[in-house]
Structure 1
Amino acid sequence: MSTTPQPVAPPVLIVGAGPTGLNLALQLARHGVRFRIVDQAEGPGTASRAMVVQARTLEFYRQLGFADAVVAGGVMIPAVRLREGGEEVACVSFRDLGAGESPYPFVLAYAQDDHERLLVGQLARAGVAVEWGTGLTALSQDGSGVRATLSRGGTEEVCTPAYLCGCDGAHSRVREALGIGFPGGTYDQLFYVADARVAGGFREELSVTLGAHGLGLMLPVRLSGMQRLIGLVPAALTSRPGLTFEDLRPGIEALMGIRVEGVNWFSTYHVHHRVAERFRAGRCFLAGDAGHIHSPAGGQGMNTGIGDAVNLGWKLAEAVAGRAAPALLDSYEPERIAFARSLVATTDRAFRAVTGPGLGGQVLRTVLLPHLLPALWGFAAARKALFDTVSQVRIAYHDSPLSAGRAGRVQGGDRLPWLGDPDNFVPLASLSWQVHVYGAGRPDLAEEADRLGLPLQAFRWTEAAREAGFAEGAAYLVRPDGYVALAGPEPGALADYCGRWGIGAKA
């Protein structure tokens, strides 16, 4: 095998071009940082796989300018229908579930293959092409940079970026090369997943069928009319070699009360729950499934990987461009690994409870969920809590070294609360550090912000601002990813913060 040296390496190499790697690439492209993105596959994925795009992801996409395109290509799920014993026992509305919490107060289904093609297209508009069919074969690093050996079509080349990002999935070659452990386990249950056409026409609702010995979900895949079917493989069939959809058809149709007219894709899988021991080793980082995998409960996996990419992307861009101190990168692991560990623990508890074969699981599926959930849905606080958690707008970085201060109910590390009127998310499209003030700020704030090179976004004081938790006249330093870094600083504190992190420094 011949080896070709790479004469001029970009500052960043991204390994893996799924949703996580593509989002990281888009972040770097928008910040004007050179990079390469490679993937050993020959092109974007062709299966629908991850289906749910959460509100926080759409907020990130709004910053990049294509949230509306994602929403237009997906299916808003208007309600969830609960079935038990062959009958519908409840229907709860998902319309405007998070009204007032986010510009995207709904649940969106958007097939991952469509999603990836859109991201690849957005990257192409930025003048960047994914290098398909290119895999990582070796990796080493020292204090000055990374040495990565890439293979394509029988030819090897050496790439020497300053930083490398492993976004290459659960079987990450980057993670293995770095010797980072991936502790966790695998659930015993075998699941099936199928994309199918169901008699009776397209159904936009999420249908959840609960049974003493079974569990089935059906949700829309795409506007063309396909439905996603997910459920437990009966214990008697888990060891059958070459298991097909036809083996499961009678049980699926009886449990869900449907008739399947055609199947486009079928697979079985075991669910894993793992979090890497570290998300960073020197100049190398892990993001997405390379760093964490967990049950599909709540549609969190892909969205969490995208959150990793956004968090890492702006920090890499600021450090590489010299607009912030390299120490900024030290905040990536503590911010994201803490959430990953919490998420895996939460989804693990929910998954075991709902799928458990014992009496407790049966009671939960046949008694508690069908009757307790509709009752709780009548309380606005319960709906808000569910949306805030599942949509990921509740994710906060209070313990981050980047987070400081508190003004009103908003503290450093919070996602900036959204106001619909005036829309305080509009300035976030700049992907830059900025200062927000709601009401009349202190007289010297504008001068201090200007001296530090920070745009000042002043919003009128409203009752909505009060309800969102802002303090009248207080200043909030907002990070490029829309999280509050510093809340309510006294005179001089803003300059001290920027000096500590090198914000505004020139390359």
Structure 2
Amino acid sequence: MNTSQVLIVGAGPTGLMLALRLARHGVAFRIIDSNSGPGEASRAMAVHARTLEFYQQMGFADELVTLGIRIEAMHVHEAGRELASLPLGEIGAGISPYPFVLSLPQDEHELFLIGKLARAHVEVEWNTTLENWVQLDSEVQATLIKNGQVQHGVFDYLCGCDGARSTVRAIAGIDFSGGTYDHRYYVADAEVAGDNTDLQAHLGANTFALMLPVRSSGSQRLIGILPDRPDGAPAPVFDDIRGEVESLLNIQVNHVNWFSTYRVHHRVAPQFRRRRCFLLGDAAHVHSPVGGQGMNTGIGDAVNLAWKLAKKLQGKAGDALLDTYESERIGFARSLVATTDRAFRAIVSQGVGGRLLRRWLVPHALPYLSGFEGARRLLFRTVSQIQVRYEDSALSGGHAEHLRGGDRLPWLFDGTQDNFTALRSMDWQLHIYGEPAPELLDEARSLKLPVHCYTFNAAAKLASLSRDCACLVRPDGHIALAMQLQQSGAMRALALRLELDFSAATPAGTTPSRKEPA
């Protein structure tokens, strides 16, 4: 009998992150993939701040950063002419410990995560295909083909991280409505004359091209719309588009390491959960590459689901907690698909609106707005996914001035106190910014909830924290309850409603830790 509690299908970044988080929570699982090994080519390049914050919880964000390249600026071109330049180096300073956009190819990113999983004594089962699965009231029964041999396994839950053509989703009978863009994309890893450490973007009517640096090979990643080709033409090779790409980006390509083409879809599944089956990443949602959101969104799905599965399997939550995965992530996915779709269509539009965007808004409005700190911070919060919030979740409630239940916990760092350090426990915890109320401490103690007290100062105020506010923080770093007056009773009510046990995996004692400035 299979003793694993969770079957993860798909070993891309989403599946690997889910596996790493489940391993940290002590959940038994298997992770399988039909491929013979990790991918050797990739489209995803951008690693955003929120993803790095999740990695910081696990202790390896800084190690990953050293593998990539920080994008210092974005240069926007049309017809070989630079329209605008936007500094990106420290655009999120004070908002996140990772105030930048990191360029790292998905294949290298995956190898890094696979290495971390191996250190947790877990290996991806390659050449293993999900043939079929059925779910009963208390279990999922799966038939696998591993290296040509049939296996049968029984699991508590099944997680489909197997991409846009998901077998898990297809067998579940879940629709994947949406559409496909008319254009076909190309992606290439190429050696280009000269040095480039910035993001180069070309905008135009029915043309779109990006160039980003790749550290490991000293090459550049080229991504763009494949020029139209006549029906029946042979499969394209890079030399078919070399002239147009070099002209658009004003570059000279000396050598191409690999080249591929693909189509882009915009789709969202109507369900991310069906009883004991969950969909994550591209199996649940796909969209335009605008903003480099896809891979980061899948990783966010994995983080959201992992701790909920762990708590349910450990008997520390009721089934209603698992319902919040779909309600929290599907709303964000729908919004993201709609936003990136509108942005992409506007960028490549041949109409008056597209020309206005490329020839007036980008060269004039973008540099103007980038001169305002508020505009830069809003851009960073949005693109980095720090702005993702779950206000309408059954887990969220309360407010404390600017904070609402469901918000990401703001980062507080003033050189002597760092509230993200406590998040490395990946468990429920209570944060108090100022003087703790005895009644709230008594409630936390009775709920076996770890407490962290921080001094309220100018840095805390700048981080949108208010004096003497209290935040019940989830294992993923989002705020469940924001309490301006530190009122007691709200945490206990939430625990009763969702059958939650807040106690840490490793008992933290009953004495709150206090982070005082020196």
Return the TM-score normalized by structure 2: 0.94
Q: Report matched runs for 1:1-12 at 5 Å.
A: 7-12=1-6
Q: 2:26 aligns with which of 5, 24, 32?
A: 32
CA distance in 2, matches of 1:210, 1:294: 19
Shift of 1:365: 2.3
The equivalent residue for 2:313 is 320
Q: 2:396 aligns with which of 390, 393, 403?
A: 403
State which drifts further: 75-84 or 107-116.
75-84
Q: 1:180 aligns with which of 174, 194, 200?
A: 174
Structure 1 pair 99–171 and aligned structure 2 pair: CA distance change class (3 A): same
Shift of 1:323: 1.7
CA distance in 2, matches of 1:238, 1:370: 37
CA distance in 2, matches of 1:365, 1:104: 30
CA distance in 2, matches of 1:16, 1:146: 17
Shift of 1:469: 2.4
CA distance in 2, matches of 1:369, 1:241: 37
CA distance in 1, matches of 2:117, 2:227: 43
Q: 2:91 aligns with which of 88, 97, 100?
A: 97
Q: 1:303 aligns with which of 296, 303, 306?
A: 296
The equivalent residue for 1:14 is 8
Q: Report matched runs for 1:159-238 at 5 Å.
A: 159-201=153-195, 203-212=196-205, 214-236=207-229
- Letter matched to residue 450 of structure 2: P
The equivalent residue for 1:49 is 43
CA distance in 1, matches of 2:413, 2:230: 52
What SS class does the counterpart of residue 155 from structure 2 fall into? coil
Q: Report matched runs for 1:114-129 at 5 Å.
A: 114-129=108-123
The equivalent residue for 1:471 is 466
- Letter matched to residue 169 of structure 1: G
Shift of 1:229: 1.2
Structure 1 pair 466–262 and aligned structure 2 pair: CA distance change class (3 A): same
- Letter matched to residue 52 of structure 1: A
Q: Deviations over 1:313-356 (max 9, x none)?
A: 00000000112222210110000001000000000000100012
Does the Cα contact within 8 Å between 1:15 and 1:21 map onto a contact in 2?
yes
Question: Are 1:149 and 2:146 matched, yes or no?
Answer: no
The equivalent residue for 2:480 is 485
Shift of 1:236: 4.9
Does the Cα contact within 8 Å between 1:210 and 1:366 map onto a contact in 2?
no
Does the Cα contact within 8 Å between 2:205 and 2:349 map onto a contact in 1?
no
RMSD value, Cα: 1.6
What SS class does the counterpart of residue 438 from structure 2 fall into? coil
Does the Cα contact within 8 Å between 2:36 and 2:127 map onto a contact in 1?
yes
The equivalent residue for 1:85 is 79
- Letter matched to residue 228 of structure 2: A
Structure 1 pair 400–447 and aligned structure 2 pair: CA distance change class (3 A): same
Does the Cα contact within 8 Å between 1:79 and 1:93 map onto a contact in 2?
yes
Q: Deviations over 1:83-141 (max 9, x none)?
A: 23323343221111111111100010011111111111111111111111111001101
Q: Which runs of 4+ in 1 moved over 4 A?
A: 236-239
Does the Cα contact within 8 Å between 2:21 and 2:306 map onto a contact in 1?
yes
CA distance in 1, matches of 2:207, 2:319: 51
Does the Cα contact within 8 Å between 2:67 and 2:104 map onto a contact in 1?
yes
What SS class does the counterpart of residue 106 from structure 1 fall into? coil
The equivalent residue for 2:62 is 68
Shift of 1:213: 5.4
Shift of 1:497: 1.7
Question: Are 1:281 and 2:284 matched, yes or no?
Answer: no
- Letter matched to residue 155 of structure 1: Q
Structure 1 pair 311–252 and aligned structure 2 pair: CA distance change class (3 A): same
Structure 1 pair 250–192 and aligned structure 2 pair: CA distance change class (3 A): same
Count of residues paired in the alignment = 500
What SS class does the counterpart of residue 210 from structure 2 fall into? strand
Q: Deviations over 1:212-269 (max 9, x none)?
A: 5533211112343111112222235686322111011111111211100011111122
- Letter matched to residue 504 of structure 1: D
Structure 1 pair 59–237 and aligned structure 2 pair: CA distance change class (3 A): farther
Return the TM-score normalized by structure 1: 0.96
Structure 1 pair 212–288 and aligned structure 2 pair: CA distance change class (3 A): closer
Shift of 1:46: 0.8
Structure 1 alignment gaps of length 5 or more:
1-6
The equivalent residue for 1:3 is none
- Letter matched to residue 472 of structure 1: R
Question: Are 1:130 and 2:124 matched, yes or no?
Answer: yes
Question: Are 1:376 and 2:362 matched, yes or no?
Answer: no
Structure 1 pair 76–329 and aligned structure 2 pair: CA distance change class (3 A): same
- Letter matched to residue 168 of structure 1: D
State which drifts further: 207-216 or 456-465.
207-216
